[in-house]
Amino acid sequence: MSTRWKPNVTVAAVIEQGGRFLLVEEHTSEGLKLNNPAGHLDCGETPAQACRRETLEETAHAFEPTALVGIYLSRQRKADGGDITYMRFAFCGELGALLPLRALDHGIVRTLWLTADEVRASTARHRSPMVLKCIEDFLAGQRYPLELVISDASVVE
């Protein structure tokens, strides 16, 4: 019997303030990498809820999604034979207050505010090609209503 292929569903926050983007520096199996605040969709939550949770866990900031920037599919083939496909829901929104006593999620080293040019100049350090793609789409004005992503009530029951 063959195993059914399923992508890993992730969420990401594209957060810009004053011409700078909030990124996280995190430990990965390939060393320290830069990423948008991002993570996996958990059972029992909508993509927007997951984005709120992941942003809080990785940056110690509250976050309220206001628009969907895009839905992205990427595939990572690793030298060790690993082959993972990710489906990323990227949201932009309002960054809330910093909770200074809140610890960052395991593996997150620090948060960084980088200009778009600094993000472009650091692509070798990006966790995935979607880091820059989401930011470029945001800069291009790409926004979709949150209602585009429909979650049946059974998801959160």
Q: What is the mean pLDDT of residues 73-102?
A: 91
Residue 92 structural domain: 8-146
Q: What is the mean pLDDT of residues 138-152?
A: 97
Does residue 155 form part of some domain?
no
Q: What are the two backbone dihedrals, phi and then psi, of residue 4, each rounded to the nearest 5 degrees? A: -75, 130
Does residue 152 form part of some domain?
no
Q: How many CB atoms lie within 10 A of CB 39?
A: 18
Average pLDDT, the chain: 95
**Model confidence at 82, in pLDDT bands (50, 70, 90)?**
confident
Q: 5 is written with which tokens?
A: 């292929």
* The total number of structural domains that make up the chain: 1
Q: State how beta strands 38-40 and 8-14 pair.
A: antiparallel
Q: Is the pLDDT of residue 3 over 90?
A: no
Q: Is the pLDDT of residue 1 over 80?
A: no
For tokens 């992508």, the residue is 7
Does residue 157 form part of some domain?
no
Does residue 26 form part of some domain?
yes
Higher confidence at residue 79 or residue 122? Answer: 122
Does residue 1 form part of some domain?
no
In the prediction, which pLDDT does 47 show?
Answer: 98
* Contact call for residues 24 and 111 (beta carbons, < 8 A): yes
Q: What is the mean pLDDT of residues 46-67?
A: 98
* Bridge partners (DSSP) listed for residue 23: 112
Q: What is the mean pLDDT of residues 7-33?
A: 96
In the prediction, which pLDDT does 48 show?
Answer: 97
In the prediction, which pLDDT does 80 show?
Answer: 81
